[in-house]
Structure 1
Amino acid sequence: MTSRDGRWLALGLRPGQVVDWRYGAADGAIDRRPAEVRGGGGLCVAEHPFGIGEALTVGDESGAVVRAEPQGVPVGTVSLHAAKGRVRGAAPPRTGADTVEWRVGAAEAAQALFARAEVRDAEGAVAALTNPVLLEPRR
């Protein structure tokens, strides 16, 4: 399963069983989808059990910059995502040499929860997807 916020394995699905992937942490549906898999006799496995990247502490005054600089992948669009969805995006030149940045303060980090980058090719297929980095507001 690849949702807006990350990935997990759905093992032992019945033939034809469909589990909706169009959800995110902010939707409040994160517990329902694994329950659907388990209800059909399947098993849910975290792909990265230690695996949400790092945590980025975001201060009130200094904030933080989340930056994506794709290299070595066919680029159509580069975007940054948080729990609330897409927060920044660009269609870089064909060389793929472009940077997408998001300047985030502590208050926004508390609502965003995490940041991850997504690179899609010219046809819209996923070319690269990062693990989320937790955004931790400094208190």
Structure 2
Amino acid sequence: MVTDNGMTESQFPPRRVAGQGRGWYRGDCHVHSVLSNGGELTPEQLAAGARTAGLDFIATTEHNTADAHGAWGSLVGDDLLVIIGQEATSRTGHWLALGIDPGQVVDWRYGVTDHVIGKHLDRVHEAAGLCVAAHPHAPYPSGVFMYPFEGFDVVEVWNGLWISDEPWQANNEAALAEWGRGLAADIRSGRWRPAMGNSDTHLEGQIGRPHTVVLAEELSTDAVLAGIRAGRSWIAESASVELSLHVSAGEGSADIGGWLDTRGGPARVRVDVRGVLSGTVSFHTDRGTVHRASLPGNGSGVLEWRTSAEESAFVRIEVRHPNGHMAALTNPIILS
């Protein structure tokens, strides 16, 4: 098959990596190459960088073009999934369209006062794609996200496009606070939007810092996007950070993105963190930050805290370095 832009089907990356079953997969869903304005790396360099960074998947998200969709077919191998996407850089905010059709271009020529964002989100959803509000508080013209989150599936609360050599910036702190403040109301309404983190790679050394770790039924576009959409994910600054969050009550239990009926008794929250030297783990609920504990100097520790559905509508975790910069954060486990 030949698409409207002249690319053949064989040039596109496959939607599934064979032989990879259910598990936690690491991926970066905001990546630019030389085929985007501002990108300095070739697709070959990005694929090599993804493997070096310990990633299982990436998304090609060039600015307002599908030109890179056909550049990845020969680069994936049997160990790397490439999700086809785009970054739409509208006048009043940027957003990611992930899992769109090969060759599909999402329009970007509008602003919030045009009241047309809904129809563009619909077209991505019609292609079984995922819509991500990108870097909501980016400190440059058009980067600040002025649209309501309604209609979007996910919020990119951690974007690694560096102002300095540090991928955690004040704009990420603002995005996380905004998402966190609305989480309780969104959960009560039955429609909460998970958080994700991506590098927004333009230059060498950025890919995978940060990235999203997703529980997926297999290493495929559909399964990875389903995991992200459901909030079965957490964000890591690099592959050197490991984390698990588990809540149990009575005979029931739940992991990140799950729901737990706590009528069986008090809920025991258990966090296992590795790779954050002398870090601080904080527990967050609809009441704000409710508990903090320190990790040992070697960066590995198991921490526990108890709560109930009467006290907490959900629980999520943040892990920070001694300087306050983020190392990892999770989506919530919902208690009822």
Q: Please, what TM-score do these two structures have when normalized by structure 2?
A: 0.28
Change over 3 Å in CA distance of 1:121–1:114 after alignment to 2: same
Distance (Å, rounded) in 1 between the aligned partners of 2:300 and 2:329: 17
Partner residue in 1 for 2:323: 123
Matching of residue 25 in structure 1 with residue 182 in structure 2: yes
Mapped contact 2:278–2:295 kept (Cα < 8 A) = yes
Q: CA RMSD in A?
A: 3.3
Per-residue deviation at 1:63?
Answer: 1.3
**Is the helix fraction higher in 1 or 2?**
2
Q: Give the gaps of 5 or more residues in structure 2.
A: 1-131, 146-173, 187-192, 197-227, 233-256
**Greater Cα shift, 84-93 or 68-77:** 68-77
Per the alignment, residue 141 of structure 2 pairs with 15
What is the correspondence of 1:1-139 to structure 2 with a 5 Å cutoff?
Answer: 9-10=133-134, 15=141, 18=144, 21=175, 22-23=177-178, 24-25=181-182, 48-51=228-231, 53-59=257-263, 62-108=265-311, 112-136=312-336
Secondary structure of the residue aligned to 2:229 is coil
Identity of aligned residues (%): 36
Give the residue type in structure 1 aligned to 2:262: V
* Structure 1 contact 120–126 (Cα < 8 Å) conserved: yes
Q: Is the 8 A contact 2:276 2:300 kept in 1?
A: no
Look at both structures and tell me which one has the larger radius of gyration over its CA atoms: 2
Amino acid in the other structure paired with 2:260: L
Distance in 2 between the 1:93 and 1:27 partners? 31
| Count of aligned pairs | 111
Q: Deviations over 1:83-135 (max 9, x none)?
A: 22111111222122333322112311xxx221111111121111111111111
Aligned residue type for 2:134: A
- How far the C-alpha of 1:17 sits from its partner, in A, is 5.5
Higher RCO, Cα 8 Å, sep 6+? 1
Q: 1:121 and 1:11 mapped to 2: Cα distance?
A: 22
Does the C-alpha gap of structure 1 residues 56 and 76 become closer, same or farther in structure 2, counting only changes over 3 Å? same
| Amino acid paired to 1:55 | W
Distance in 2, matches of 1:58 and 1:70, equals: 24
